[in-house]
């Protein structure tokens, strides 16, 4: 049996009891590397706290390893119980469909243990989940690569009066240019897009495309570290949020659509006074 266990959005205590029982029953426990970067990149003892609570040794697997060793993991799972831990929900913002598809092809039984992900926890800011349109991703711009496919989607949501959740780029295990040149494996430190950078990029695209999908006065909500003790939620115009220091990652951003009175009341609490 392969258990794919969502860890939720905070630290090791955000696993469900059902998830914890599954992990404890497994002979081998893998954890997706994103998880480690998020939970341990931020606190160095994260992995050991997790191992202590779960009572298991955890093998951290980056995307490369999951792809390369998927068959090995699945062969194990055909013989005994294996857990694969995933930050958030197994089918949240990133998807693990690939692993599930491979497992099903090999007739390995899969059990998914749900948990919170950004896709539903975003509801905390008070904007109703069923009033969101298509979700967009904002990638880091480089000098030569400045994609703007999110623009059209935001514009469409706006026309329909819907809110837009913007997921902000995470870059982990990016080979450094230097290492590529030298033919050695060497990685850039992980980068997480801040709300400020996201807004700068959004405004740059608006300026070049100029169809007024939004502007510096557009209302937004910036959210940082959802699920952590120090989560931060601030509502304001793009211009106002540009000056807010949201602190450590992860950040995300909502562009507000048409609102109902209860939504307004909630936003009020988070507004820059």
Residue ranges for the binding site for S-adenosyl-L-methionine? Answer: 9, 89, 92, 117-118, 168, 226, 251
Candidate ranges 59-67, 113-121, 189-197, 216-224; the one touching a second copy (CB under 8 A): 113-121
| Size, binding site for a second copy by CB under 8 A | 57
> Considering only residues 46, 90, 139, 236, which one is a binding residue for a second copy as defined by CB under 8 A?
90
Burial 161-193 (b: 16+ CB within 10 A, else e): ebbbbbbbebebeeeeeeeeeeeeeeeeeeebb
> Considering only residues 78, 137, 196, 271, which one is a binding residue for a second copy as defined by CB under 8 A?
137
> Considering only residues 26, 37, 223, 226, which one is a binding residue for a second copy as defined by CB under 8 A?
226
User: Is 131 among the residues that bind a second copy (CB under 8 A)?
Assistant: yes
Find out whether 122 and 138 touch, Cβ atoms under 8 Å. no
Find out whether 7 and 113 touch, Cβ atoms under 8 Å. no
> Considering only residues 25, 55, 72, 160, which one is a binding residue for a second copy as defined by CB under 8 A?
160
Helix (H, G, I), strand (E, B) or coil at 261: helix
Candidate ranges 35-43, 67-75, 99-107, 248-256; the one touching a second copy (CB under 8 A): 99-107
User: Is 95 among the residues that bind a second copy (CB under 8 A)?
Assistant: yes
Which string of x and - marks every residue 187-206 that binds a second copy (by CB under 8 A)? --------------------
- C-alpha pair distances (Å), 62 with each of 37, 65, 69, 121, 173: 10, 5, 10, 25, 9
Candidate ranges 9-17, 34-42, 79-87, 182-190; the one touching a second copy (CB under 8 A): 9-17
**Based on CB atoms, which residue is closest to a second copy, 17 or 177?**
17
CA distance 64 to 248: 26
The values of phi and psi at residue 212, to 5°, are 60, 45
Which residue, 91, 16, 92, is CA-closest to 53? 16
User: Is 128 among the residues that bind a second copy (CB under 8 A)?
Assistant: yes
> Considering only residues 2, 77, 86, 126, which one is a binding residue for a second copy as defined by CB under 8 A?
126
User: Is 139 among the residues that bind a second copy (CB under 8 A)?
Assistant: no
**Based on CB atoms, which residue is closest to a second copy, 134 or 216?**
134
Rg over CA atoms, the chain: 20
**Strand pairing report for 110-113 and 58-61:** unpaired
The values of phi and psi at residue 198, to 5°, are -60, -45
Contacts with 188 (C-beta within 8 Å, 6 or more apart), sequence order: 171, 174, 175, 176
Sign of CA dihedral 93, 140, 193, 208: negative
Find out whether 117 and 92 touch, Cβ atoms under 8 Å. yes
Candidate ranges 24-32, 74-82, 132-140, 210-218; the one touching a second copy (CB under 8 A): 132-140
Positions 45 through 64 that interact with a second copy (CB under 8 A): 53
Which residues sit at the interface with a second copy, rule CB under 8 A? Answer: 6, 8-10, 12-18, 20-21, 53, 89-93, 95, 97-98, 100-101, 104, 112, 114-117, 119-121, 123-124, 126, 128-137, 156, 160, 162, 167, 226-227, 262-263, 265-266, 269
């Amino acid at each position: 049996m392969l258990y794919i266990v969502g860890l939720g959005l905070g630290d090791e205590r955000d696993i469900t009891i059902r998830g914890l029982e599954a992990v404890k029953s497994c002979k081998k426990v893998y954890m997706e590397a994103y998880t480690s970067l998020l939970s341990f990149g931020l606190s160095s003892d994260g992995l050991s706290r997790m191992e202590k609570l779960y009572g298991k040794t955890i093998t951290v697997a980056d995307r490369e390893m999951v792809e390369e060793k998927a068959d090995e993991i699945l062969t194990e799972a055909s013989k005994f119980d294996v857990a694969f831990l995933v930050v958030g929900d197994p089918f949240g913002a990133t998807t693990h469909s690939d692993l599930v598809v491979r497992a099903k092809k090999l007739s390995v039984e899969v059990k998914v243990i749900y948990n919170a992900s950004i896709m539903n926890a975003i509801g905390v800011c008070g904007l109703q989940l069923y009033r969101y349109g298509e979700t967009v991703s904002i990638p880091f711009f480089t000098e030569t690569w400045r994609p703007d496919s999110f623009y059209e989607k935001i514009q469409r949501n706006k026309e329909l009066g819907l809110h837009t959740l913007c997921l902000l780029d995470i870059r982990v295990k990016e080979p450094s240019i230097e290492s590529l040149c030298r033919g050695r494996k060497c990685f850039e430190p992980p980068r997480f897009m801040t709300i400020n950078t996201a807004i700068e990029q959004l405004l740059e695209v608006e300026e070049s495309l100029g169809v007024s999908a939004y502007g510096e006065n557009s209302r937004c909500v910036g959210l940082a570290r959802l699920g952590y003790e120090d989560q931060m939620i601030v509502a304001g115009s793009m211009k106002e949020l540009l000056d807010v220091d949201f602190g450590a990652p992860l950040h995300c951003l909502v562009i507000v659509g048409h609102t109902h009175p209860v939504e307004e009341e909630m936003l009020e609490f988070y507004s820059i006074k």
